[in-house]
Amino acid sequence: MRVLITGASGLVGGTLARELTEHGHEVIPLTRRQLDLEHTEAIVPTLLEHHPDFIVHAAAVTQVDLCETQPELAYRVNWLATRQIRHAAQLLEVPLLYLSTDFVFDGQKGEYRELDPPNPLSVYGKTKLWGELETRVHPLHYVVRVSWVFGPGGRNFFSRIVTLLHEQRSLRVTYNQWSAPTYAPALARALRWILEHQPPFGIYHLAGEEVTTPFDLVSEVLQRLSCSCQVRRVSMSSLGRPAPRPRKTHLLNTALKALGITVPGYRTFLEEFVHATKPAEHGD
């Protein structure tokens, strides 16, 4: 299959591109250099030119606080660009898989199924939800919601904390936020399964099957490192970040489980990840 991936320099897009290439698919990995999604008028012509059989839209402004302070940027990239990508998928008559997030929920309930009503708290969550709604206009759509993705080479919460602990730095980490970390290579395998089997179109939750808090996660990382760092347990609200975060966003993979697909929890991969993550990988 000829698969076009946006956000191919990102953690999810890059890991998926490798997974698909290793399994014999032809991948068109688009990065910002080939297609800057802020230039929405360039999107349809670029996608038509590549005539893919399947489009995976993984690009987004993913920094939650940046979206809050620069909402115009988030609207443009996460929402309006997605509209153009959906339009191209419709013209090409090919399926579109859109990566979305647990942040479309308000985090009051926890344990979210695919058809639970979203209620995003932040600009990031809202613009990702609007991206979902744009995608769903196309009958051939998959909206795949993921949470707390970590993996080799990524710039994310996991790699940041592991790096800081390697550097013996002290941390303040929240204890009152729960979600399911998802290992990027395991996520990519499940996405490949969706591409190859094309189950019924619709919304899918795809998260690792173990839930934790940032504080518990850091404690588990500490057990695997010889580190004398001080880790302070703080509440989410005390960090004073621009964007509000949902408290409990455990995604239940109800639809995928019904198809026999399971996603291992983060503990299966933690040891390997902690030892593979080097200080140089850390980005802000």
Ligand X SMILES: NC(=O)c1ccc[n+]([C@@H]2O[C@H](COP(=O)([O-])OP(=O)(O)OC[C@H]3O[C@@H](n4cnc5c(N)ncnc54)[C@H](OP(=O)(O)O)[C@@H]3O)[C@@H](O)[C@H]2O)c1
Q: Where does this chain bind ligand X (CB under 6 A)?
A: 7, 9-13, 31-32, 36-38, 58-62, 77, 99, 101, 128, 146-149, 154-156
Q: What is the DSSP letter of 212?
A: B
As measured in angstroms, the least distance from the Cβ of 284 to ligand X is 12
Beta carbons within 8 Å of 149's beta carbon, 6+ residues apart:
11, 12, 156, 181, 182, 183, 184, 187
CB of 20 to ligand X, least distance (A): 15
Helices (H), 55-118: 64-69, 71-74, 81-92
For residues 147 and 277, which CB has a smaller minimum distance to ligand X in the complex? 147
Closest CA to 27 of 139, 198, 195, 147: 195
Per the DSSP assignment, residues forming a β-bridge with 100 are 145
- Least distance between ligand X and beta carbon 228 (Å): 29
Residue 144 backbone zone (phi > 0: left; psi -120 to 50: alpha; other: beta) = beta
Using an 8 Å Cβ cutoff, are 252 and 112 in contact? yes
Return the number of the residue (62 or 177) whose C-beta is nearest ligand X.
Answer: 62
What b/e readout covers 45-69, taking b as 16+ CB neighbours within 10 angstroms? ebbeeeebebbbbbbbbbbbebbbe
Mention every residue, 6+ apart, whose C-beta is less than 8 A from residue 19.
185, 188, 189, 191, 192
Distance (Å) of CA 44 to CA 82, 91, 98, 244: 11, 9, 16, 34
Using CB positions, name the residue nearest to ligand X.
Answer: 10
Closer CB to ligand X, residue 34 or residue 230?
Answer: 34
* Structure tokens given for 3: 């698969």
Minimum distance from residue 36 beta carbon to ligand X (Å)? 5
146 within 8 A of 187, measured Cβ to Cβ? yes
Q: Tell me how far, at minimum, the Cβ of 7 lies from ligand X, in Å.
A: 3
φ, ψ of residue 252 to 5 degrees: the values are -90, 130
Nearer to ligand X, 62 or 164 (CB): 62
For ligand X, the closer of residues 101 and 174 by Cβ is 101
* Catalytic residue check, 142: no
Of residues 92 and 129, the one with the C-beta less far from ligand X: 129
Among 75, 98, 112, 124, the active-site one is 124
Q: List beta partners, residue 205.
A: 145
Min separation Cβ 38 and ligand X, Å: 5
Catalytically active residues are 124
